[in-house]
Amino acid sequence: MLIYPILILFVHLFPIKVVGHGGNGCSQFNCISRDPENSIPSFLHAISAGADIIETSVWISKDDELIISHRNVIDSGRDDLYASITPGQSSTTPRPSQYEHKHREKYPVKEPWSIARSEKDLYYSDQFNRPFNPPLYLLTLGEFLHFISQTNTTAILEMSGNDPRLPHRIISELEQYQAFDKIHAISTFSWSQYNPNPSQIDLLEPLRNDTRIKRALRFYGGRKYQALRYQFKQISQIHSPFTVVVHLITSAIRSISNGVPFFTPNNDFILDAAQHYNASFIHPSCESLDQNWNHTIQRAHNSGIQTMCWFGRQTDTFHQFEQVVQFNVDEISTNDPFGLTQFLRMKGLKEKPDRTSRRHFPPN
């Protein structure tokens, strides 16, 4: 087929960037990273593996500190990242809103699953609930910015939680550390355009007109509820019944031409929201990409908006990478920066490293 060589030729002009999710990938159950996620060792190994960008999450702790953490407890309520306060007990680490940074020595990072045990039942038992050696603790945003400033890598900061103070607090920290040039983008799932959840705080709106940072809209899948709400909003703004019919027929023709069912919501609402927030990126999950996304990504590129997709908390495979690059994404957030880097170089979709310009380890 001629399509794939043409794709490679096109992307050669704009190499795909590798984004290290939590640094060198997730360290929870069923992950392959041997580094505790969102730790300095994880960030360093991600850079050495070929990551162009580091992605991490920022929360406000109970004692009002900006902390770096993806999440503290798994869905079942068992602690999956940090050692219990009292060995032999099944106590869990508090969530970020309950976590007090001044007591962080109580919550040393646990050994990654790939180091501890391969059996899930043993991993969750308290006899393997031991800290990483030497002990590691949650970083503050300030500590992370100090680290990233000593590398040639930039970072994506994901705003997490539901605290309306978070956007301004992050900006204040970036001002203090003069670190705007080290931030690739600020992203969040918490944006309210066409969002059916009224309890969700819009964390992106306060940053909408700040020209010092780039913004990214994160979302799961195609956000079908938002897409349907967007379509109904479009129809509600049409006062002529004839125009409504034309709109529906046009939508049907576009669905057929894209090879998707007529009732599959399109993703135009995402571009509409991206333009509202002056966003530089749309940030869908990689697993959600299908034929319906070809049109959206092309329109995004035509509007100067890049697409950065993300893989969930799992082991990413070459087969998945093969599928994703066909959508002409600009950046991929992965739990396996080394594997993705090798895949892209093998396909000619990533530049060879410049060993003279990249500083792998910051000075003491």
Which pLDDT belongs to residue 115? 78
Q: What is the pLDDT of residues 235-261, one digit of tens each?
A: 455 556 666 566 556 656 655 555 544
Instruction: Round to whole Å and give the CA distance between 329 and 348.
Output: 15
pTM: 0.81
Question: How many Cβ atoms sit within 10 Å of the Cβ of residue 231?
Answer: 18
**Residue that has been written with the tokens 């940053």 in this structure:** 207
Q: Long-range contacts of range 39-46, CB-CB < 8 Å, 24 or more positions apart?
A: 39/109, 39/132, 39/136, 39/139, 40/136, 40/139, 40/147, 41/136, 43/147, 43/148, 44/360, 44/361, 46/20, 46/337
- CA Rg value for the chain: 21
354 with 67: CB under 8 angstroms? no
Which pLDDT belongs to residue 71? 64
Residue ranges and CATH numbers for the domains of the chain are 3-222+267-346 (3.20.20.190)
Which pLDDT belongs to residue 104? 84
Question: How many Cβ atoms sit within 10 Å of the Cβ of residue 254?
Answer: 15
Q: Which residues make Cβ contacts (< 8 Å) with residue 299, sequence separation at least 6?
A: 268, 271
CA 250 to chain centre: 34
The one-letter amino acid at 162: N
Phi, psi (deg, nearest 5) at residue 41: -60, -40
Which pLDDT belongs to residue 249? 66
Which pLDDT belongs to residue 133? 81
100 with 61: CB under 8 angstroms? yes
Which pLDDT belongs to residue 227? 47
> Hey, CA dihedral for 3, 8, 11, 15, is it positive or negative?
positive
Residues of the chain with confidence (pLDDT) below 50: 1-13, 72-78, 85-91, 196, 222-235, 260-265, 355-364
Q: What is the pLDDT of residues 44-91, one digit of tens each?
A: 999 999 999 999 999 998 899 999 987 644 334 445 566 654 444 444
Which pLDDT belongs to residue 138? 87
